[in-house]
Structure 1
Amino acid sequence: MKVPLTSSIAGLNESATLAINIRAREIRAQGGSVCHFGFGQSPFPVPLSIQNALRDHAAVKDYLPTLGLPELREAVARFYQQEMNSPFSAEHVCIGPGSKELIFQALFLLEAAVLIPAPSWVSYGPQAQLLGKPVYTLPTRREHHYRLQADVLEQICQQLDDTPKLLIINSPNNPTGAVYGEDDLSALAEVCRKFGIIVLSDEIYAMIDFTGQSHQSMAHAYPEGTIVTGGLSKSFAAGGYRLGVMLIPDPLRALTKALQTVASETFSTVSAPVQYAALEAYGHFDTVRSFINQTVEIHRSVAEYVHTRFIGMGLNCPEPQGAFYMMPDFQNYRASLAKKGITSDEALCHALLGEAHIALLPGSSFYLGPLTLLSG
């Protein structure tokens, strides 16, 4: 029987991160071992207090409010006020089944062209494509640590004229490990105000920051136009719990109402036991602060070691400032790789997984050219 699939799925494949994860599992199931660097999952356990809260509320079976448990929304707002210095209250907080789903809902609800600095996380573009939204990738440069520059943003805005625009900023960044500083964000905010751009600031890695500086958010520089997303997946090591948060400022409150309407017709609400686990995470952050600080220090030490080894091998690679990632450039090995028939980033990643059981992701999955030989 012919299956009448929607045309928006044409050309889309499974997320590169999930696909490489499946292949790595297959190799392991066959008795092989894999050094798996292709999936952004914390290697640490969920803090025990959060595990206990999930267990203690396993019997809670009722549907909770669509935008989230009121106590949780209050705890999230308090967390962002105290830990992130971000100006949000409980009414600004929306709880969803992962920040990935909340980003998808925002893309669905906002009638705007989507501006994505490249390289970027693998799913922003496909989500926009599924929704039929125009996507514009904005170039960044290695000497700027792949951070979007204000003049580049202004140039694309001038080209798009009066088209409504949504800019996605991710800091600390997947896949580069870059962290936007106060000056970076202030310059971008000036352009955003000039052109009336809405910003979606993906801050899922906000606490995994190696710079030693206080957290910098686009919501500080551009509070009236910035939506912030976060969740349990990275800092709290609870990716499988699937709980995300979205914080929407007063001038964009129409989005909150629209999200409530659409959520009520789609996912309804987030699992009740998971919301109570999140209440423990956000409401009693002091309980897990030491745990998170220790895990961040381990991430920093590993990143520093691997970066040093990469540089020693002759690879160009910006030093990661946060998150789980770094992005080595194999251009210096182009000639020797070509002799082995490896002439693209995807070919390199397939060879590394097939021959050495090392799982990496190709730079082309992050909106870089397939011949750049960059791997995230």
Structure 2
Amino acid sequence: MSVTLSATLAANEDIERRRRAGERVLHLAFGEAGLPVHPALRDKLAAASERNGYGPVAGAAGLRTAAAGYWTRRGLPTDPDLVVSGPGSKSLLYALLLAIGGDVVLPMPSWVSYAAQADLVGSRPILVPAPPGEGGVPDPDLVAAEVRRARAQGRTVSSVLVTLPDNPTGRLATPETIGRLVRLARELDLMIISDEIYRDLMHDAALPYTSPADLAPERTIITTGLSKSLALGGWRIGVARLPEGGHALRRKLLAVASEIWSAPAAPVQEAAAYAFGDPSELTERIARSRLLHGTVARAVRDRFVEIGADVPMPQGGFYLYPDLSHLRLGGSADITKILLEEHGIGVLPGHAFGDDHAAARVRVAVSLLYGDTTEERLAALTSSDPLQLPWIADNLNYLSMGLKELSLVRHGAVLERHPALVPAPCHG
């Protein structure tokens, strides 16, 4: 088994190295939420800083109760005894794959760590394309044949993993698709793992949202955390909601957790318990974040559409998934290299998400465009028109010029490098 650095983390380190060397690179490659810590959360963490003892492996009772309330308010009554906390939902997903065992069905494309984690635990991921126009869910019409084929080969297929809304596409699977997947999971006896870390960042709160747990609570696990909705990626805290009657799975999950992380960090649990209580100041912050992410994501999409790219309209989170195949500049690795080295635009190649290497699809994250300082990011968060803020407008203009140059290169034009490509201080 060959283990390499996560594509997102590797790209982030490469781009930061280039920027330290004086290159201007527009950082669209990293899924950092790009916003400051809310003062109330900072205060909760500071107040709990002397809590330095080990706690329960499953997480403190206060955090599990708060997380249960979080899901209950979203229509999913939850028993705190079936909530498990860990140092980020990423760790929980890894532990769940170990605890469940067997191979896992993944949507194609899907977040880079799903397939990598499956490899690490000795599972073989089964990649199934998402339905046209959707993301985050393998097409139910294609899953059955793939699972039966794998089982005919003697493989054990135990689970299917979905992301609602999706990274990398920014799209949300429809209630109808979720319904079909749930019926299929029952027919094939598959556990459903639903990564819902972007749930609270739907751009349109009125868009119908169906979790598999709404339809199949007996076989659905939900994971979430605070790294996206409240921009707490560095705090590393996540929670999992186990299925109804999932006490045997809980024992297995805690056995794995006890040998890997022992217990989540106690001070962070205190702040997380407060956050999962949905206090008004934090729900207001999330609402502002949702609006900012959607506004900037649509503006970035417009820049790609201007050069003829096919870009599904983002519905949640801060991601886009442009298809630049019309430029005929090669596959995803080729187009990513050209964007970075010739136009100063850092993105991730689609093949890192399990997509076809030959397709020129890339993952774009817009959340590092909001500013380089806390003051700039707060201004973006509170502005009625963040696109008019000088640093965001400058970033969007830089993107437009780079993409137009990319498109002109396709048509054989001879170009001078635009001034923005000369090494200069950068704004996000």
CA 1:303–1:14: 2 relative to 1, 3 Å: same
8 Å Cα contact 2:136/2:163 also seen in 1:
no
3-state DSSP of counterpart to 2:223: strand
- Give the TM-score normalised by structure 1: 0.92
Q: Equivalents in 2 of 1:251, 1:99: separation in Å? A: 21
Amino acid at match of 1:116: L
Who is 2:230 aligned against? 236
Who is 2:361 aligned against? 374
Once superposed, which parts of structure 1, at least 4 consecutive aligned residues long, lie more than 6 Å away? none
Q: Equivalents in 2 of 1:260, 1:145: separation in Å? A: 31
Q: Equivalents in 1 of 2:238, 2:134: separation in Å? A: 30
Q: Does 1:124 align with 2:117?
A: no
Q: Deviations over 1:241-297 (max 9, x none)?
A: 000111102333211111112222221101111111101211243231111101101
Who is 2:27 aligned against? 36
Q: How does 1:265-304 map to 2 (within 5 A)?
A: 265-304=259-298
Who is 1:261 aligned against? 255
3-state DSSP of counterpart to 1:159: helix
CA 1:319–1:281: 2 relative to 1, 3 Å: same
1:127 Cα offset (Å): 0.6
8 Å Cα contact 2:105/2:126 also seen in 1:
yes
Instruction: Choose 258-267 or 52-61, whichever is displaced more.
Output: 258-267
Who is 2:315 aligned against? 321
Q: Does 1:112 align with 2:99?
A: no
Q: Does 1:13 align with 2:7?
A: no
Q: Equivalents in 2 of 1:188, 1:238: separation in Å? A: 31
Aligned length: 359
1:190 Cα offset (Å): 0.6
Instruction: Choose 285-294 or 153-162, whichever is displaced more.
Output: 153-162
Q: Equivalents in 2 of 1:182, 1:344: separation in Å? A: 33
8 Å Cα contact 1:118/1:140 also seen in 2:
yes
Who is 1:89 aligned against? 79
8 Å Cα contact 1:230/1:244 also seen in 2:
yes
Who is 1:173 aligned against? 166
8 Å Cα contact 1:49/1:280 also seen in 2:
no
Q: Does 1:190 align with 2:177?
A: no
8 Å Cα contact 1:44/1:237 also seen in 2:
yes
Instruction: Choose 213-222 or 198-207, whichever is displaced more.
Output: 213-222
Selected match of 1:213 from 207, 211, 218: 207
Selected match of 2:336 from 349, 361, 368: 349
Provide the identity percentage.
Answer: 33
Q: Equivalents in 1 of 2:222, 2:50: separation in Å? A: 32
Q: Equivalents in 1 of 2:21, 2:68: separation in Å? A: 47
1:225 Cα offset (Å): 0.4
8 Å Cα contact 2:324/2:361 also seen in 1:
yes
Q: Does 1:250 align with 2:241?
A: no
- Give the TM-score normalised by structure 2: 0.81
Q: How does 1:327-342 map to 2 (within 5 A)?
A: 327-334=321-328, 337=329
1:71 Cα offset (Å): 0.8
